Chain A
Amino acid sequence: MKIVFWSPVHGQSASTSNTLIISLLAGIFMKKKCLLTQTHFNYNNLEAPLVQSNTKSDLDYFMDVGIDALVKRFKAERINYKIIENCCISLIDTNISLLPGTTKINREDFEDEIGLIAPGLIKEFDLFYDYVFVDANPSQNELSSKLMEDASLVVVNLSQNIGVVDMFFQSFRSEIKNKVFYLFGSYDCNSIYNINNIRRKYKEVTISNSGVIPYNTGFKDAQIGGRVIEFVRKNLNCNKSNSNYYFMMKSIAATEKIIKMAGKEQKGGKEI
């Protein structure tokens, strides 16, 4: 199942953070085999919270792995599970393989190449993984549009900025033909623009196709420190007295809904 995370705006909807937490919970909590990747060229931060390095600042770390290496192999031969895994960084005890983004420095070259190959490449992943999570470029982007066309589920990342939500429904909604899940990141439950009122205002946003990822200082700090996996493991079974309880509870609820919508029903790691 391919799940594409996309946002109508860059930098406001916590799209990459949301992709991280949802994929981690799918792997660690629901114990499903996942591949996590992204198609951004730069200004993205998918790898560093997981492995403490990102593709533009630490080229040695990502030598011979990543989407560039996989694209080369894909052009040369039919890829198999071993080839994909060799290009990924396996995140120990998470059931997640991370396929790092590009290290190329020429945007045009990257976008030309990846635009042609990525949709076909990502289709291949379906054969080997239960869920493929793709953090796609925000706003109007040809590659993102192609990825969303083939996706089992498009997770539209929005914020509590009603201007952005209005803009999405006016300008982008009609272009997405597949199933859509609305995910509100950096969520503040004390705002008047809480999820209950958003569902009342926008009838298309319902209980079953929407969720929230609350703002959480601990998770933010863990992202900066490259310790998100440790954060999720430590807080997975936390109780109400833990300050991260609300964040974990809502993130797990959103993950379960997303997985259910994508096509395979899950509850607490068991398939039902």
Chain B
Amino acid sequence: MSKRHNKRQSDCPDPEDIVAYLRNELDLREQSRVHDHLAGCSSCRAVAENFRGTIDKLENVEEKRLVRDLTPAVLAQIPETAWQQDKDIHFTHRTLFPILMLRLTTCLIVALGSAYVVHRMWQRHHATPPDEGALTHTTTPVLKQHEARKEGLLWLVRVQDSSGKWDPDQWGGRREYTIGLTGMALLSLARSDEDFLKKLKSIDQAVDFLLSQQHIDGRFGDEFDGTMYNHGIATVALLETYGKNKDPDLEEPLRKALDFIRRQQLPSGGWGYRKHSGEMANTSISTWPLQALLISAELGREDEGHALKRGLAWLVGVVDERGQFGYQQPRHFPHGPNALTAMGAYCVLRASKEGIAVDRRLLHQVEQALSMRPPEKPKANFYRTYFQVCALKEADKKQYADSVSDLQQELLSKRQQSGTNKGSWDPQDQWGTVGGRIYSTAMAALSLEGHSVQGL
């Protein structure tokens, strides 16, 4: 197995890396590289098969079953006083100290407040008229963005069905995507910090509706070609809702939903329209399950079966040398590269922020592709814009602030500013007939969401 083996090629991976590959221990780029190499090198494939066989035999050993619960015996060795002592210490740290700090802080605030009042009284007494020629700095663009987003959310709340869902039939979309569209609308509400939403039941009702549509196997919605869109979007929306409110009633449904995602994962690591023999994974479908697994990881859950890692390894495998993401393989762009690149970039950049090892050169190429401006102004596409904004924000660099701002300004110019649908967006893009006004408004509101790029 040494590197001097005369059948090995010069680009063969080190055997230790073959073992690490089998154990899913390489970073995404390396995992993908070794995977591709094994497909074309019979010598390394034989090495991998040998090790795999050994690991299979090792895994197939019997366990020794415990015949009794050791908990009473363990607890008997810990003195009772230790528990009470911990409670006392915790009480002191968590209750007495904060009370003391609160009192000190209150005194400080009162003192500062008094000083401020005295200062203002003195200023008023000695004030001079303002300079009429002075420039006034406004935050008008930011205010417009905030107002537009708020109006979009208000529109969504207004048109929500009493069952909790958003009905595509009424708004120009397709009925079979009710789950996904409800998920999109819920996501836009859940991600927002608007005060008015906290007083309404819109989020709760949407959650209740989605939960009512979950099957025993964890799937949200009926089975059809668009299942993974519906299920993926609903799971992401519920995960983000859970991330905010930590509602324990969501834990079991989410566990089942994530298990369903893992079961639908194709052997290649991505996700396709259906799980059956011959199905190929594609970036459009894979993006939503990957986001769900990423959020799950961010919430501290295990990456069971290495589903997230395998999914990301598949995803980086469709990146070409220019950092663009293909549909099913590199340089495969049935509808152009921009939307796919935005979706893929968002997942990869988010994964990198989560601490998952991603090749630095790949990240740089992806960011380059993401920030490239096309030669002509592209046609409107709410879906693409949403992922572009998310990906650029995830890259989190000052030089992308203008790009984010441009995308958001473009959205503002398309908003309906009067009439019964004031605050919403016309579904005038290639997915408009699928998602309708719910889709266009939810995606636009999400794109205008204001977490900043380096202080923007």
Real binding pair: no
Q: Using a CB–CB distance below 8 Å, which chain B residues touch chain A?
A: none
**A→B interface (CB under 8 Å):** none
